[in-house]
Amino acid sequence: MDARSIIEKVRDGIEPTQADLSWFAGGLASGGVTDAQAGAFAMAVLLKGLSEEARVALTLAMRDSGDVLKWDLGGPAIDKHSTGGIGDCVSLLLAPMLAAVGLYVPMISGRGLGHTGGTLDKLEAIPGLKTDVTEQVFRQMTGEIGCAIVSATADMAPADRRLYAVRDVTSTVESIDLITASILSKKLAAGLDALILDVKVGSGAFMETADDARALARSLVRTSNGAGCPTAALITDMNQPLAPAAGNALEVAVIMEALIAPRNDRMTDVSVALGAELMVLAGLETSVEAAAGKLLDALKSGAAVERFDRMVAALGGPKEFSASWKQKLPEANVIRDVAAPASGTVAAIDGHAIGMAVVRMGGGRLRGGDRIDPSVGFDQIVSIGDTVAKGQPIARLHAASERAAKAAEEAMAGAVTIGQAGETPDLIKERIGG
């Protein structure tokens, strides 16, 4: 077997075999496949597409290019994956809630990508907390606390790390086949019994149209089920930030409020809906309604915040963080309101523009390896349908300097369209089952 003949098959629309794809993924991981060959393979897949069987085979081959965890826990090991958005801090709320109802959440998360924030960057806004732990600590936390949000080790799905870097510079990131194999190879390497996918659609998402989001959700759900992991997807709204904040420490603050004094808001609703699906997929409940009730009980009883505190301490953060979070989270130098440029109703919010404003303030990376300033971003962001008077706040900005504040202020004012009342977008748009 050799890389050239496998690339030729994909290029000519001939189905590659499972053995071909295992060989190729092995070559990506070992270095036996060159960057040029990886780029040609990615372009051939983007242009010709893969069959469902080949997509499953590529996913499994990439998963098996490194360590695949196996668990011996008191219940199912499950996880959630979001395709990314603005103010999407669901993982931080959902993982401890699921742990509190008896599930085990070995959550291998990512960092910010493009305009979207990453769960690891958010958690690391907590002073002292580090998400790169040994496999032993990861296993211990998952078994004892029920949830562990950590970064992937270098030994998990190494074929994806290599192919992702090549895709990034060869205009092949967009391929749904490759996105599917990339996301799932990493998630399935965590040895899951069930997975829920939160596929975001709208101005702050990578998928801006319903058709694109549905195509990605279907590909992910079919491939993951085909790989033997019970999986479903919810397509959820990203036409406005999910939480009223965007920025690492500011989103942690929102989570602490939601864990300590639970309320009905978009972020809690999406978290509970995703968690309820997982409880049913994992066989813990037979109806999503009953499952949702248990998750809300776990939140209101304080069981979820107790798990969150234990996870923070186990990752090196402060002990009993929920008692001291207001003093512990970093604060930016410049904090001030952004004034509404006109009176009217908030008709639309450009999530992508808000995300990029946070990145430019230093809350995300413009280049790999950039250091993040966890304190910057926006909070108290208005929602679609709110009425505002000219000069009233539409958000509060947190910046490192007056110069950065000025640019962020303009970006936020430009991102919020004030006009006539329109339709408030549905939060949960569609469920895609296996």
Residues that bind ligand URA (CB under 6 A): 164, 179, 182-183
Active site residue 328: no
- How far is it, in rounded angstroms, from Cα 254 to Cα 31? 43
Cβ closer to ligand URA: 183 or 229? 183
Q: Is 236 a catalytic residue?
A: no
Mark whether 187 is an active-site residue. Answer: yes
Question: Among residues 272, 416, 430, which one has the least CA distance to residue 354?
Answer: 416
Q: Report in angstroms how near the CB of residue 113 gets to ligand URA at its nearest.
A: 6
Of 415, 429, 375, 432, nearest to 86 by C-alpha is 415
Annotated catalytic residue, options 55, 63, 81, 162? 81
Sheet holding 194-201, edge to edge: 78-82, 194-201, 231-237, 428-432
For this structure, is 193 an active site residue?
no
Q: Which of 162, 186, 200, 352 is labelled catalytic?
A: 186
Q: Residue 368, SS3?
A: coil
Catalytic residue (choose from 65, 153, 182, 224)? 182
48 assigned to active site: no
Q: Is 219 helix (H, G, I), strand (E, B) or coil?
A: helix
At which residue do the structure tokens 């990376």 appear? 365
Q: Is 119 assigned a catalytic role?
A: yes
Query: Which residues partner with 334 through β-bridges?
Result: 399
Those residues whose C-beta lies under 8 Å from the C-beta of residue 293, and which sit 6 or more positions away, are none
Instruction: Give the nearer residue to ligand URA in terms of CB position, either 183 or 259.
Output: 183
Nearest residue to ligand URA, using CB?
182
CB of 164 to ligand URA, least distance (A): 6
186 is catalytic: yes
CB 141 within 8 A of CB 111: no
Residue among 183 and 291 whose Cβ is closer to ligand URA: 183
Name which of 64 and 309 has its Cβ closer to ligand URA. 64
Closest distance of CB 201 from ligand URA, Å: 15
CB 387 to ligand URA: min, Å = 37
* Cβ 200 to ligand URA shortest distance, Å: 11
Closest CA to 421 of 381, 385, 383: 385
Integer CA distances (angstroms), 120 to 142, 246, 267, 291, in order = 17, 14, 18, 27
Residue 25 or 394: the one with the smaller Cβ distance to ligand URA is 25
Instruction: Indicate the length of the chain as a whole number.
Output: 434
Q: Which of 55, 63, 80, 162 is catalytic?
A: 80
Q: Which residue is catalytic, options 115, 161, 162, 187?
A: 187
Positions annotated as catalytic residues are 79-82, 119, 167, 182, 186-187
